[in-house]
Chain A
Amino acid sequence: MTNAPAVSCLGTSALLFEAPGETTLANQQRIWALSREAANWPEIREAVPGVNNLLLSFNTPPRCLEPLETRLLGAWEEAIALPLDGRVIELPVVYGGEGGPHMADVVAHTGLSVEEIVAIHTAPIYPVYALGSHPGYCYLGGMDPRIATPRRKIPVIRIPGGAVSIGGSQTGVSASDGPSGWNTIGTTEVCFFDATRDPPVLLQPGDSITFRVVEIRK
């Protein structure tokens, strides 16, 4: 991990800004501040926060990149953590059973019991760091490293929307049916995305999720 921020291009479509340091809520709050600032620049079509990084897509690619890079690095230096006090959404989860087919793999990897895994998973308030992957999907911070479990060697072709899963040191909830390489440990019912709403997403950076156990199935 380097100490200086890095700027690189994704073809002529976008710039990628990567912040130095660990992924922390404080760092992520600076990313949100930078995103708000850059979203107003005339050449920027969209500012998209990622995990400790920011994608800036172009309306039209600038003739010369250097001035924009300089402005971006300057704005990062001045960016002050933006503590967005968003909503906290509680999601009721049925852990294990049919809706949590990979709970046994998390048990095997961590050496913890199902009850311990559920207790650890339901303890934190998980901040939404960024959205991505698929419509309405939230990248969450804050998972307890004791339940970290590597991604599956062979991804599952289709896991249902509402699947609660662990991939490496992250946890998340699928917003719609689709493929996933993560370990699904439970299921919840929530609508993260509705194109007819404005905004179309239930949660945005700055909001948070908590998980409440409804039932543990074997």
Chain B
Amino acid sequence: MIEILSQSASASIQDLGRFSAVRWGVGTAGAMDRLALLCGNILLGNADDAAGIEAQVFPFEVRFDTDLAFALTGADCAATLDGLPLLPWSSSRAQAGQVLRLGLPQAGRWRGARTYLAVAGGIDVPVVLGSRSTQLRGAIGGLDGRVLRQGDRLPVGPLPGTGIIAGVMPPGLALPLAADELPAVRVLPAAEHDAFTGGSLARFWAEPWKITPQSDRYGFRLAGPGLEPKAPLEVRSHGIVPGVIQVPHSGQPIVQMCDAQPSGGYPKVGTVIDADLWRLGQMPIGTRFRFIRVDWNKALAAREEVEGWLTEVRRVTALLRARRAA
């Protein structure tokens, strides 16, 4: 068991997401930075889909009730275990009674917004409709379908026994992506792209967008040059996915994120590709960033780059495990 000590209201149990219940109106939820959660699970020898804790308000504290290996990935938040500093993007061992504290996200070459605590065995809440992720609307998955509270005690699954104590280079450093020295995400145009005026589209692709304070796991509201439709657009409700960039009447886009509802009726200018959602999911409020237009082949290449990097992490982890076993 691990116990939540913080009053912070916005940490939640997440895995990679719930992807086959959209036809029942259930959104995907899942980790905003799936690469970070995956790396934690790889280090610990967990299944890829083991659930961890996503923390996004700091400081955040938990106490281990038993000896347990854990990994911290995502935003570097100057974590300590009983006061002793821990390296970001690495696994460690805790002893029963020790307190893990996540401080404020640190500025550096790569600054994130969300930190993932993965534990050996995974957070063992029931699988609901194929996932342990917390789905707030409808209150399913996670712990009673809600964010974590002080005093919650979370069960841990059977120990995999194949974990290693090691670190991973953060993908934000290993797979950098920038445009005009600003962080960037790649976008495939969507159905209504060409229904916006040429001038406003040119600015959409060429100018920076800022993540406003009205941004959370549901969606990122952006501020920037604005998009103007050539004529009023009528769109009928249809299924959507995280990453869809909706344009409401204001012209200021909203990127739908992991807790977004699974359907929408706003015009869509594009979709942040799945391979880059983790980048956006880690951008703190106030970040200025750029969209990079890609076609299908470039989007697939981006996906392969991420998969290739994950394969390398798995390979090196397996090598280290073999060396230590020898």
> A residues touching B (Cβ–Cβ < 8 Å)?
6, 8-14, 16, 18, 23, 45-53, 55, 57, 61, 63, 65, 130-137, 139, 175-176, 178, 193, 195, 199-201
Partner of B299, one of A12, A51, A53, A57: A12
Partner of B20, one of A46, A50, A201: A46
Residue of A nearest to B270 (CB): A11
**Given contacts A131-B23, A132-B261, is CB(A13)–CB(B236) below 8 Å?**
no
In the complex, which residues of chain A have a beta carbon less than 8 angstroms from the beta carbon of B261? 132-134
In the complex, which residues of chain B have a beta carbon less than 8 angstroms from the beta carbon of A137? 25
| Shortest distance from the beta carbon of A57 to any chain B beta carbon, whole Å | 7
CA of A134 to CA of B140 in the docked complex: distance in angstroms? Answer: 12
5 chain-A/chain-B pairs, Cβ below 8 angstroms? A9-B190, A11-B271, A12-B299, A13-B241, A133-B262
Within 8 A of A (CB), among B97-154: 128-129, 135, 137-140
The segment from B78-86, B201-209, B272-280 that touches chain A is B272-280
Residue of B nearest to A59 (CB): B19
In the complex, which residues of chain B have a beta carbon less than 8 angstroms from the beta carbon of A23? 236
CA of A57 to CA of B26 in the docked complex: distance in angstroms? Answer: 14
Best-buried of A50, A53, A63 by chain B (most CB within 10 Å): A50
Partner of B239, one of A55, A63, A134, A175: A55
**Given contacts A12-B299, A61-B303, A135-B137, is CB(A49)–CB(B241) below 8 Å?**
no
Query: How many A-B contacts are there with CB distance less than 8 Å?
Result: 140
Partner of A18, one of B22, B135, B191, B274: B191
Residue of A nearest to B19 (CB): A45
CA of A132 to CA of B26 in the docked complex: distance in angstroms? Answer: 7
CA of A111 to CA of B268 in the docked complex: distance in angstroms? Answer: 35
Residue of A nearest to B137 (CB): A134
Are A13 and B137 closer than 8 Å at their CB atoms?
no
Are B25 and A53 closer than 8 Å at their CB atoms?
no
In the complex, which residues of chain B have a beta carbon less than 8 angstroms from the beta carbon of A6? 191
Best-buried of A14, A18, A178 by chain B (most CB within 10 Å): A14
In the complex, which residues of chain B have a beta carbon less than 8 angstroms from the beta carbon of A131? 23-25
Residue of A nearest to B236 (CB): A51
| Shortest distance from the beta carbon of B188 to any chain A beta carbon, whole Å | 5
**Given contacts A10-B190, A11-B188, A12-B275, is CB(A46)–CB(B23) below 8 Å?**
yes
Q: Is B30 located at the chain interface by the 8 A CB criterion?
A: no
Within 8 A of A (CB), among B254-290: 261-263, 268, 271-275
> B residues touching A (Cβ–Cβ < 8 Å)?
19-27, 128-129, 135, 137-140, 188, 190-191, 236-244, 261-263, 268, 271-275, 296, 299-300, 303
Partner of A176, one of B137, B188, B244, B271: B137
Residue of A nearest to B138 (CB): A135
**Given contacts A8-B191, A135-B138, A136-B138, is CB(A16)–CB(B275) below 8 Å?**
no
In the complex, which residues of chain A have a beta carbon less than 8 angstroms from the beta carbon of B239? 14, 16, 48, 50, 53, 55, 57, 132
In the complex, which residues of chain A have a beta carbon less than 8 angstroms from the beta carbon of B271? 9-11, 13
CA of A46 to CA of B139 in the docked complex: distance in angstroms? Answer: 22
**Given contacts A11-B188, A12-B273, A23-B236, is CB(A193)–CB(B296) below 8 Å?**
no
**Given contacts A132-B25, A195-B129, is CB(A45)–CB(B20) below 8 Å?**
yes
CA of A170 to CA of B115 in the docked complex: distance in angstroms? Answer: 41
CA of A176 to CA of B136 in the docked complex: distance in angstroms? Answer: 10
Are B25 and A134 closer than 8 Å at their CB atoms?
yes
In the complex, which residues of chain A have a beta carbon less than 8 angstroms from the beta carbon of B140? 135, 195
**Given contacts A9-B296, A51-B238, is CB(A201)–CB(B24) below 8 Å?**
yes
Are A50 and B238 closer than 8 Å at their CB atoms?
yes
Are B274 and A132 closer than 8 Å at their CB atoms?
no
| Shortest distance from the beta carbon of A197 to any chain B beta carbon, whole Å | 11
Are A46 and B299 closer than 8 Å at their CB atoms?
no
Partner of A46, one of B22, B191, B242: B22
In the complex, which residues of chain B have a beta carbon less than 8 angstroms from the beta carbon of A53? 236, 238-239
| Shortest distance from the beta carbon of B194 to any chain A beta carbon, whole Å | 10
Are A61 and B237 closer than 8 Å at their CB atoms?
no
In the complex, which residues of chain B have a beta carbon less than 8 angstroms from the beta carbon of A176? 137-139
In the complex, which residues of chain A have a beta carbon less than 8 angstroms from the beta carbon of B263? 50, 130, 132-133
In the complex, which residues of chain B have a beta carbon less than 8 angstroms from the beta carbon of A57? 19, 22, 239, 241
**Given contacts A46-B19, A65-B296, A201-B24, is CB(A11)–CB(B243) below 8 Å?**
yes
Partner of B137, one of A130, A178, A199: A178
Partner of B241, one of A14, A51, A199: A14
Residue of B nearest to A198 (CB): B129
Are B135 and A48 closer than 8 Å at their CB atoms?
no
Are A11 and B272 closer than 8 Å at their CB atoms?
yes
CA of A47 to CA of B239 in the docked complex: distance in angstroms? Answer: 9
In the complex, which residues of chain A have a beta carbon less than 8 angstroms from the beta carbon of B243? 10-11, 13
CA of A130 to CA of B23 in the docked complex: distance in angstroms? Answer: 8
Partner of B300, one of A63, A135, A136, A139: A63
CA of A9 to CA of B300 in the docked complex: distance in angstroms? Answer: 13
**Given contacts A11-B272, A193-B138, A195-B128, is CB(A135)–CB(B236) below 8 Å?**
no
